[in-house]
Amino acid sequence: MKQPAKRTAFFISDGTGITSEALGHSLLAQFDSIEFEQITLPYIDTPDKAKEAVSRINNAAIQDGTRPLIFDTVVNEDIRSIIAESSAFKIDVFSSFLKPLESELDARSNYSVGKSHGIVEQTRYKDRIDSVNFAIDNDDGARTRQYANADIILVGVSRCGKTPTCLYMAMQFGIKAANYPLTEEDLEFSKLPDVLEAHKHKLYGLTIDSFQLAAIRHERRANSRYASLDQCDFEVREVEKLFKKLNIPAINTTNFSIEEISTRIMAQAGLNRRMN
């Protein structure tokens, strides 16, 4: 039987839906021949909401002509049983993993809603907020006097992904990440700005394919020298030479998501995440 080219996937939770989304996205990414319409239904925490979700799932089944997929992290067994009545292929994350774990640990789970993403410890929550504020305050070379407090300083040409990477590392890992743009003048003299010299051990380089860089810059400043392929070629070539000359570790961001870039930087720079 030929596999449909499109399937609908629902991520259902009685909390934020972050856990079901994370697992579902990871699994569905392995099937790149299929187009998935992905729908998140958070806070399905009453029977009435569960019945509304089932109605929506069943409608998708009729429209698609095949069973939708459900990734479910609902804790309440009564609500899970309602969802189980839908015309879908269901992956119940908690029952699949918690039951065997309860058996191994010889202990019963407390089945708390939102446990994995709630504000369990105020200190960790404060670390995240502080890290996000740090990333914002130290974006694009602002407030360089705070670099002594940075865990890492991302350097690279303009529009290579420094800012979103810093913010992701702050949000997900509690890392204090600053970033500094290397200008055409820096690259012409093949040297670091003076403000970075004292923090060279914290530097991590980002580079990018010049064609993609030109496309990104064109959206920001169309038909400008800044966005021209010649200028992008020059900057990428020179920044990569600088990284090599000064032994600055670097990653090419062209084919990676922000999540992948951030995780690779964490591993290669030996940083420990403060958020779990």
By CB neighbour count within 10 A (0-12 exposed, 13-18 middle, 19+ buried), where does 263 fall?
A: middle
Measured CA to CA, the distance from residue 223 to residue 215 in angstroms comes to: 11
Burial code of 12-22, b = ≥16 C-beta within 10 A, e = fewer? bbbbbbbbbbb
Measured CA to CA, the distance from residue 206 to residue 153 in angstroms comes to: 11
* 157 annotated ligand binder: yes
- DSSP-derived pairing of the beta strands 69-72 and 152-156: unpaired
Residues 153, 178: contact at Cβ < 8 Å? yes
* 163 annotated ligand binder: yes
Which of 150, 266, 253 has the alpha carbon at shortest distance from 275?
Answer: 266
* 143 annotated ligand binder: no
Measured CA to CA, the distance from residue 184 to residue 242 in angstroms comes to: 12
Residues 243, 205: contact at Cβ < 8 Å? yes
Residues 239, 146: contact at Cβ < 8 Å? no
* 161 annotated ligand binder: yes
* 241 annotated ligand binder: no
* 176 annotated ligand binder: no
Please give the annotated binding residues, written as ranges. Answer: 156-163
Query: Which residue numbers belong to the known binding site for ADP?
Result: 156-163
